[in-house]
């Protein structure tokens, strides 16, 4: 232990194994960042500006776009500056604040997929009562408990991490303040932190996934047994399932890379734990824009109108 004191300043050292090639990472990550910002802004603009897209399903998609737009802003600019100029320092307070915001918004990515599954369940399985079930007062009983769960679990996670003494090293092998990457540097017992980390994973993304899966099983069984034409509704369900599957696979790979001694290079581990937050922000708006017919039509119309205005400024 060095002087018996705890570090208050840290170095974010993700991808340091690449050496002189590390600045080249600025190119792919900056392209992804621009794609994320533009695609989510376009999706939000279309949903907000079109009255026909103000139904609960599109409001939830718009909420997902807000999360996907906000999440990269809390760690990607700092990461890009680190790649380009080598600015890697962060205070413990700044690290904990970044950890809280990143993990909280990451938690709401999976929770929004659960709310979307509930929306589709009500629309397909109880169509006569859909607007009643999805009215704000009634739907809040599904929203409030999950909001409280996410806030409490992430707050507990970060508070416990902030109480740890960091006596040995202040170099974080990551591009942002990821929970396990910081906890690994602690010189005290981290058993409670590891337990709360596991509980957070099982109570948020895993629990959400179980309820989402159950909802879609009921939905598909309902459509198949009723003999009704549910093509359009099922098409929307498949879109949600694609988004959920991609997100879950990346989350599980990132989670297991930290907790299973698989001999993975540190750079690979950092890559997956960065992608589980960053990739959905690029992927989600594109897949919703392509696969959701109403949104796709309005996006094409919006881009076409802007193109015509630019070509005919005096018309």
pLDDT tens profile 109-136: 889 989 988 998 888 888 888 888 888 8
pLDDT at 163 over 60: yes
Band (96; pLDDT cuts 50, 70, 90): very high
Q: Say if residue 229 is exposed, middle or buried (CB neighbours under 10 Å; 0-12, 13-18, 19+).
A: exposed
C-alpha 18/C-alpha 1 separation (Å) is 30
Q: What are phi and psi of 203, to 5 degrees?
A: -85, -15
CB neighbour list of residue 54: distance below 8 Å, 6 or more residues apart: 47
Band (1; pLDDT cuts 50, 70, 90): very low
Residue with tokens 């939000």: 44
What's the whole-number mean pLDDT along residues 77-101?
91
Residue 163 maps to a domain: yes
Encode pLDDT of 21-36 as tens digits. 889 999 999 999 999 9
pLDDT at 170 over 80: yes
Q: Is 134 helix (H, G, I), strand (E, B) or coil?
A: coil
What is the average pLDDT score of the chain?
Answer: 85
Q: What is the pLDDT of residue 31?
A: 94
Number of structural domains, the chain?
A: 1
The dihedral of CA 244, 62, 114, 234: what is its sign?
negative
C-alpha 175/C-alpha 156 separation (Å) is 23
pLDDT at 209 over 70: yes
Residue ranges making up the domain that contains 141:
9-297
Q: Is 11 helix (H, G, I), strand (E, B) or coil?
A: strand
C-alpha 138/C-alpha 301 separation (Å) is 35
Residue 315 maps to a domain: no
Q: What is the pLDDT of residue 261?
A: 58
Residue 310 maps to a domain: no
DSSP string, 202-271: IIIIIHHHHHHHHHHHHHHHHHHHH----HHHHHHHHHHHHHHHHHHHHHHHHHHHHHS-----HHHHHH
Closest listed residue to residue 258, CA positions, set 187, 205, 201: 201
What's the pTM value of the predicted model, to 2 decimals? 0.86
pLDDT at 221 over 90: no
Residue with tokens 């990346």: 250
CB neighbour list of residue 77: distance below 8 Å, 6 or more residues apart: 33
What's the whole-number mean pLDDT along residues 277-298?
83
Count Cα atoms within 13 angstroms, Cβ side, for 2. Answer: 8
Q: What is the pLDDT of residue 315?
A: 47
Band (260; pLDDT cuts 50, 70, 90): low
Residue with tokens 């809280």: 100
Q: What is the pLDDT of residue 298?
A: 83
What is the CATH number for 57? 1.20.1070.10
Residue 30 maps to a domain: yes
HEC string for 61-96: HHHHHHHHHHHHHHCHHHHHHHHHHCCCEEEHHHHH
pLDDT at 264 over 80: no
Closest listed residue to residue 201, CA positions, set 164, 250, 240, 251: 251
């Amino acid at each position: 232990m060095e002087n018996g004191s705890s570090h208050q300043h840290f170095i974010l050292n993700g991808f340091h194994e690449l050496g002189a090639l590390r600045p080249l990472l600025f190119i792919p990550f900056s392209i992804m960042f621009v794609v994320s910002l533009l695609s989510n802004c376009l999706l939000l603009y279309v949903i907000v500006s079109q009255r026909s897209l103000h139904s609960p399903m599109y409001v939830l998609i718009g909420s997902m776009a807000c999360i996907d737009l906000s999440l990269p802003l809390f760690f990607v600019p700092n990461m890009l500056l680190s790649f380009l100029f080598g600015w890697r320092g962060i205070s413990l307070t700044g690290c904990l604040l970044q950890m809280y915001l990143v993990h909280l918004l990451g938690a709401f990515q999976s929770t929004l997929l659960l709310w979307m599954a509930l929306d589709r369940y009500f629309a397909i399985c109880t169509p006569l009562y859909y607007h009643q079930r999805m009215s704000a007062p009634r739907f809040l009983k599904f929203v409030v408990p999950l909001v409280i769960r996410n806030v409490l679990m992430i707050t507990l996670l970060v508070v416990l991490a902030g109480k740890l003494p960091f006596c040995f090293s202040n170099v974080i092998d990551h591009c942002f303040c990821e929970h396990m990457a910081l906890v690994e540097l602690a010189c005290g017992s981290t058993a409670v932190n590891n337990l709360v980390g596991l509980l957070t994973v099982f109570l948020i993304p895993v629990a959400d996934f179980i309820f989402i899966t159950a909802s879609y099983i009921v939905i598909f069984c309902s459509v198949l047994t009723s003999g009704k034409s549910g093509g359009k509704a099922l098409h929307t369900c498949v879109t949600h399932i694609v988004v959920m599957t991609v997100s879950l696979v990346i989350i599980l790979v990132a989670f297991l890379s930290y907790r299973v001694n698989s001999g993975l290079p540190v750079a690979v581990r950092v890559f997956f734990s960065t992608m589980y937050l960053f990739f959905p922000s690029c992927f989600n708006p594109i897949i919703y824009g392509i696969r959701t017919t109403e949104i796709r039509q309005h996006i094409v119309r919006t881009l076409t109108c802007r193109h015509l205005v630019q070509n005919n400024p005096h018309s």
